[in-house]
Amino acid sequence: MRAAPEVSVINGKKVVVVLPAYNAEKTLQTTVSELPDIADYRILVDDGSSDATVAVARKLGLEVYVHDNNYGYGRNQQTCYREALGCGADIVVMVHPDYQYTPLLVTAMASMIAYGVYDVVLGSRIIGGGALRGGMPLYKYVSNRILTMFQNLLLGAKLSEYHSGYRAFSRAVLATVPLLENSDDFVFDNQMLSQCVYFGFRIGEVSCPTKYFEEASSINFRRSVKYGLGVLATSLQYRLEKMGIAHFKFFSAKGRKLDLHYYRKTAPELEGSSAEKQTR
Protein backbone atom coordinates (compact mmCIF):
# COMPACT_ATOMS: atom_id res chain seq x y z
CA MET A 1 0.00 0.00 0.00
CA ARG A 2 1.40 3.36 -1.04
CA ALA A 3 1.54 5.77 1.89
CA ALA A 4 -0.22 9.09 1.47
CA PRO A 5 2.04 12.10 0.92
CA GLU A 6 2.49 14.39 3.90
CA VAL A 7 1.54 17.54 1.96
CA SER A 8 -1.14 17.60 -0.72
CA VAL A 9 -0.10 18.92 -4.12
CA ILE A 10 -3.03 21.22 -4.89
CA ASN A 11 -3.29 24.26 -2.62
CA GLY A 12 -2.81 22.15 0.50
CA LYS A 13 -6.03 20.20 -0.11
CA LYS A 14 -6.31 16.47 0.45
CA VAL A 15 -7.46 14.86 -2.80
CA VAL A 16 -9.01 11.40 -2.93
CA VAL A 17 -9.81 9.55 -6.15
CA VAL A 18 -12.61 7.01 -5.94
CA LEU A 19 -13.31 4.28 -8.48
CA PRO A 20 -16.77 2.64 -8.31
CA ALA A 21 -16.13 -0.75 -9.92
CA TYR A 22 -18.13 -3.64 -11.30
CA ASN A 23 -16.43 -6.25 -13.49
CA ALA A 24 -13.66 -3.83 -14.50
CA GLU A 25 -10.66 -6.17 -14.58
CA LYS A 26 -9.95 -5.59 -18.31
CA THR A 27 -9.70 -1.81 -18.09
CA LEU A 28 -8.71 -1.09 -14.49
CA GLN A 29 -4.94 -1.22 -14.96
CA THR A 30 -5.04 1.13 -17.96
CA THR A 31 -7.24 3.56 -16.04
CA VAL A 32 -5.05 3.58 -12.95
CA SER A 33 -1.84 3.93 -15.00
CA GLU A 34 -3.09 7.30 -16.29
CA LEU A 35 -4.17 8.73 -12.95
CA PRO A 36 -2.07 11.80 -12.12
CA ASP A 37 0.04 11.38 -9.00
CA ILE A 38 -1.79 14.00 -6.96
CA ALA A 39 -4.16 11.86 -4.89
CA ASP A 40 -3.55 11.26 -1.21
CA TYR A 41 -5.64 8.09 -1.50
CA ARG A 42 -6.98 6.02 -4.38
CA ILE A 43 -10.02 4.01 -3.31
CA LEU A 44 -11.78 1.29 -5.29
CA VAL A 45 -15.18 0.00 -4.18
CA ASP A 46 -16.14 -3.28 -5.81
CA ASP A 47 -19.89 -3.90 -6.10
CA GLY A 48 -19.89 -7.68 -6.10
CA SER A 49 -17.91 -8.27 -9.30
CA SER A 50 -17.75 -11.78 -10.72
CA ASP A 51 -14.36 -11.23 -12.39
CA ALA A 52 -10.87 -10.48 -11.04
CA THR A 53 -11.44 -6.76 -10.38
CA VAL A 54 -10.52 -7.04 -6.70
CA ALA A 55 -7.34 -9.01 -7.39
CA VAL A 56 -6.20 -6.51 -10.01
CA ALA A 57 -7.00 -3.57 -7.72
CA ARG A 58 -5.01 -5.13 -4.89
CA LYS A 59 -2.06 -5.71 -7.21
CA LEU A 60 -2.17 -2.06 -8.28
CA GLY A 61 -1.93 -0.91 -4.67
CA LEU A 62 -5.40 0.59 -4.41
CA GLU A 63 -7.30 0.77 -1.16
CA VAL A 64 -10.06 -1.78 -1.76
CA TYR A 65 -13.54 -2.12 -0.28
CA VAL A 66 -15.77 -4.98 -1.33
CA HIS A 67 -19.56 -5.07 -1.20
CA ASP A 68 -20.91 -8.45 -0.13
CA ASN A 69 -23.44 -8.30 -2.97
CA ASN A 70 -24.23 -6.35 -6.13
CA TYR A 71 -26.19 -3.45 -4.63
CA GLY A 72 -26.08 -1.06 -7.57
CA TYR A 73 -24.16 1.92 -8.90
CA GLY A 74 -25.75 4.39 -6.50
CA ARG A 75 -24.91 2.35 -3.41
CA ASN A 76 -21.38 1.93 -4.71
CA GLN A 77 -20.96 5.70 -4.83
CA GLN A 78 -22.29 6.09 -1.31
CA THR A 79 -19.55 3.77 -0.09
CA CYS A 80 -16.95 5.58 -2.21
CA TYR A 81 -17.79 8.96 -0.71
CA ARG A 82 -18.12 7.66 2.85
CA GLU A 83 -14.66 6.08 2.70
CA ALA A 84 -13.18 9.20 1.06
CA LEU A 85 -14.55 11.43 3.81
CA GLY A 86 -13.24 8.89 6.31
CA CYS A 87 -9.77 9.58 4.90
CA GLY A 88 -10.29 13.29 5.54
CA ALA A 89 -10.77 14.23 1.88
CA ASP A 90 -11.19 17.90 0.98
CA ILE A 91 -11.82 17.02 -2.67
CA VAL A 92 -13.16 13.77 -4.10
CA VAL A 93 -12.86 12.91 -7.78
CA MET A 94 -14.88 9.99 -9.14
CA VAL A 95 -13.20 8.17 -12.03
CA HIS A 96 -14.95 5.24 -13.71
CA PRO A 97 -12.49 2.34 -14.02
CA ASP A 98 -13.80 1.35 -17.45
CA TYR A 99 -11.48 3.86 -19.17
CA GLN A 100 -14.36 5.60 -20.94
CA TYR A 101 -13.27 8.98 -19.52
CA THR A 102 -9.64 10.08 -19.58
CA PRO A 103 -8.11 10.06 -16.06
CA LEU A 104 -5.73 12.83 -17.16
CA LEU A 105 -8.30 15.51 -16.26
CA VAL A 106 -8.23 14.70 -12.53
CA THR A 107 -5.69 17.46 -11.80
CA ALA A 108 -7.66 20.12 -13.69
CA MET A 109 -10.95 19.15 -12.08
CA ALA A 110 -9.52 19.00 -8.56
CA SER A 111 -7.73 22.33 -9.04
CA MET A 112 -10.95 24.15 -9.89
CA ILE A 113 -12.31 23.11 -6.51
CA ALA A 114 -9.04 23.50 -4.57
CA TYR A 115 -8.77 27.16 -5.56
CA GLY A 116 -12.42 27.92 -4.81
CA VAL A 117 -13.67 28.39 -8.37
CA TYR A 118 -16.39 25.72 -8.14
CA ASP A 119 -17.85 23.27 -5.63
CA VAL A 120 -18.63 20.64 -8.28
CA VAL A 121 -16.83 19.98 -11.57
CA LEU A 122 -18.12 17.74 -14.34
CA GLY A 123 -16.25 16.20 -17.23
CA SER A 124 -18.55 17.03 -20.13
CA ARG A 125 -18.66 14.82 -23.22
CA ILE A 126 -20.71 17.43 -25.07
CA ILE A 127 -18.42 20.46 -24.87
CA GLY A 128 -16.01 20.16 -27.78
CA GLY A 129 -18.00 17.37 -29.43
CA GLY A 130 -16.17 14.56 -27.67
CA ALA A 131 -19.22 12.32 -27.38
CA LEU A 132 -19.82 11.63 -31.06
CA ARG A 133 -16.11 11.58 -31.91
CA GLY A 134 -15.63 9.02 -29.15
CA GLY A 135 -18.32 6.75 -30.56
CA MET A 136 -21.34 7.50 -28.39
CA PRO A 137 -24.34 5.72 -29.97
CA LEU A 138 -26.59 8.19 -31.75
CA TYR A 139 -29.70 7.29 -29.72
CA LYS A 140 -27.79 8.01 -26.51
CA TYR A 141 -26.53 11.32 -27.84
CA VAL A 142 -30.01 12.43 -28.89
CA SER A 143 -31.46 11.31 -25.55
CA ASN A 144 -28.70 13.18 -23.73
CA ARG A 145 -29.50 16.41 -25.55
CA ILE A 146 -33.26 16.14 -25.02
CA LEU A 147 -32.98 15.26 -21.33
CA THR A 148 -30.41 18.01 -20.75
CA MET A 149 -32.65 20.62 -22.40
CA PHE A 150 -35.57 19.46 -20.25
CA GLN A 151 -33.50 19.60 -17.08
CA ASN A 152 -32.02 23.01 -17.79
CA LEU A 153 -35.57 24.28 -18.22
CA LEU A 154 -36.91 22.79 -14.98
CA LEU A 155 -33.81 23.28 -12.82
CA GLY A 156 -32.98 26.74 -14.13
CA ALA A 157 -29.34 25.78 -14.76
CA LYS A 158 -27.22 25.98 -17.91
CA LEU A 159 -25.18 22.81 -18.08
CA SER A 160 -24.02 21.14 -21.28
CA GLU A 161 -25.05 17.75 -19.87
CA TYR A 162 -26.26 16.14 -16.64
CA HIS A 163 -25.28 12.58 -17.46
CA SER A 164 -21.50 12.41 -17.25
CA GLY A 165 -20.13 10.03 -14.64
CA TYR A 166 -16.85 11.94 -14.38
CA ARG A 167 -17.26 14.25 -11.37
CA ALA A 168 -15.36 16.08 -8.65
CA PHE A 169 -16.87 17.35 -5.40
CA SER A 170 -15.76 19.44 -2.46
CA ARG A 171 -16.08 18.01 1.02
CA ALA A 172 -18.80 20.57 1.76
CA VAL A 173 -20.97 19.13 -1.02
CA LEU A 174 -20.66 15.56 0.21
CA ALA A 175 -21.34 16.66 3.79
CA THR A 176 -24.44 18.70 2.88
CA VAL A 177 -26.32 16.69 0.26
CA PRO A 178 -28.60 13.91 1.65
CA LEU A 179 -27.03 11.18 -0.47
CA LEU A 180 -28.54 8.34 1.53
CA GLU A 181 -32.00 9.33 0.28
CA ASN A 182 -31.01 8.64 -3.34
CA SER A 183 -31.58 5.61 -5.53
CA ASP A 184 -29.19 2.65 -5.57
CA ASP A 185 -29.48 2.58 -9.38
CA PHE A 186 -27.98 4.73 -12.15
CA VAL A 187 -30.37 7.64 -11.56
CA PHE A 188 -28.34 8.32 -8.38
CA ASP A 189 -26.02 10.47 -10.52
CA ASN A 190 -28.86 12.65 -11.72
CA GLN A 191 -30.45 12.96 -8.31
CA MET A 192 -27.11 14.03 -6.85
CA LEU A 193 -26.56 16.71 -9.46
CA SER A 194 -30.10 18.00 -8.99
CA GLN A 195 -29.41 18.17 -5.26
CA CYS A 196 -26.26 20.21 -5.92
CA VAL A 197 -28.32 22.69 -7.93
CA TYR A 198 -31.04 22.77 -5.26
CA PHE A 199 -28.58 23.47 -2.42
CA GLY A 200 -26.91 26.24 -4.39
CA PHE A 201 -23.50 24.76 -5.09
CA ARG A 202 -21.43 26.20 -7.94
CA ILE A 203 -21.07 23.75 -10.83
CA GLY A 204 -18.41 23.97 -13.52
CA GLU A 205 -17.62 21.83 -16.56
CA VAL A 206 -14.52 20.88 -18.51
CA SER A 207 -14.40 19.34 -21.97
CA CYS A 208 -13.74 15.61 -21.66
CA PRO A 209 -12.75 13.24 -24.49
CA THR A 210 -14.57 9.93 -24.20
CA LYS A 211 -14.24 6.44 -25.62
CA TYR A 212 -16.92 3.88 -26.40
CA PHE A 213 -15.56 0.39 -26.92
CA GLU A 214 -16.48 -3.21 -26.13
CA GLU A 215 -14.88 -3.39 -22.68
CA ALA A 216 -16.28 -0.03 -21.52
CA SER A 217 -19.34 -0.34 -19.32
CA SER A 218 -22.58 0.84 -20.83
CA ILE A 219 -26.18 0.27 -19.83
CA ASN A 220 -28.41 -1.41 -22.39
CA PHE A 221 -31.42 0.15 -24.09
CA ARG A 222 -33.92 -1.06 -21.48
CA ARG A 223 -31.85 0.32 -18.61
CA SER A 224 -31.35 3.54 -20.58
CA VAL A 225 -35.12 3.99 -20.86
CA LYS A 226 -35.50 3.37 -17.13
CA TYR A 227 -32.77 5.90 -16.43
CA GLY A 228 -34.39 8.48 -18.74
CA LEU A 229 -37.73 8.13 -16.98
CA GLY A 230 -35.93 8.53 -13.65
CA VAL A 231 -34.31 11.73 -14.91
CA LEU A 232 -37.69 13.15 -15.94
CA ALA A 233 -39.15 12.25 -12.54
CA THR A 234 -36.22 13.84 -10.69
CA SER A 235 -36.58 17.08 -12.66
CA LEU A 236 -40.30 17.27 -12.02
CA GLN A 237 -39.75 16.57 -8.32
CA TYR A 238 -37.20 19.39 -8.22
CA ARG A 239 -39.66 21.84 -9.73
CA LEU A 240 -42.48 20.75 -7.40
CA GLU A 241 -40.12 21.12 -4.42
CA LYS A 242 -39.06 24.61 -5.47
CA MET A 243 -42.68 25.65 -5.97
CA GLY A 244 -43.65 24.31 -2.54
CA ILE A 245 -46.28 22.01 -4.03
CA ALA A 246 -44.67 18.79 -2.80
CA HIS A 247 -41.67 17.81 -0.69
CA PHE A 248 -39.16 15.01 -1.17
CA LYS A 249 -36.62 13.60 1.27
CA PHE A 250 -33.72 13.79 -1.17
CA PHE A 251 -34.18 17.58 -1.35
CA SER A 252 -34.58 18.01 2.42
CA ALA A 253 -31.80 19.50 4.54
CA LYS A 254 -32.90 16.98 7.17
CA GLY A 255 -32.52 14.03 4.81
CA ARG A 256 -30.07 11.23 5.60
CA LYS A 257 -26.47 12.22 4.96
CA LEU A 258 -23.12 10.46 5.06
CA ASP A 259 -21.75 10.04 8.58
CA LEU A 260 -19.27 12.87 9.18
CA HIS A 261 -17.97 11.13 12.30
CA TYR A 262 -16.87 8.12 10.31
CA TYR A 263 -13.49 6.80 11.45
CA ARG A 264 -10.65 8.61 9.70
CA LYS A 265 -7.73 6.46 8.59
CA THR A 266 -4.13 7.66 8.64
CA ALA A 267 -1.28 6.64 6.38
CA PRO A 268 0.69 4.70 9.07
CA GLU A 269 -2.40 2.60 9.83
CA LEU A 270 -2.75 1.70 6.15
CA GLU A 271 0.88 0.76 5.56
CA GLY A 272 1.48 -2.95 5.64
CA SER A 273 -2.24 -3.66 5.43
CA SER A 274 -4.32 -4.95 2.57
CA ALA A 275 -6.76 -2.12 3.34
CA GLU A 276 -9.51 -4.43 2.16
CA LYS A 277 -12.84 -4.39 3.90
CA GLN A 278 -16.15 -6.13 3.47
CA THR A 279 -18.92 -3.58 3.47
CA ARG A 280 -22.52 -3.19 2.42
For 15-246, CATH number? 3.90.550.10
CA distances from 75 to 44, 124, 187 (A): 13, 23, 11
112: nearest Cα among 40, 204, 196, 17: 204
CA distances from 230 to 186, 214, 237 (A): 9, 26, 10
Cα Rg, the chain, nearest whole Å:
18
Q: What is the pLDDT of residue 271?
A: 33
CA distances from 150 to 3, 19, 233, 245 (A): 45, 29, 11, 20
Low-confidence ranges of the chain (pLDDT < 70): 1-8, 213-219, 261-280
User: In what side-by-side order are the strands of the sheet with 41-46?
Assistant: 203-207, 120-124, 167-170, 91-94, 15-21, 41-46, 63-67, 277-279
Say if residues 45 and 76 touch (Cβ distance below 8 Å): yes
Q: What is the pLDDT of residue 158?
A: 95
Domain ranges of the chain: 15-246
190 burial level (CB within 10 Å; 0-12, 13-18, 19+): buried
3-state secondary structure of 122: strand
The C-alpha angle with vertex 98 and arms to 39 and 260, in degrees rounded to 5, equals 45
3-state secondary structure of 20: strand
Q: End-to-end CA distance of the chain, in Å? A: 23
Q: What is the pLDDT of residue 242?
A: 97
Q: What is the pLDDT of residue 279?
A: 56
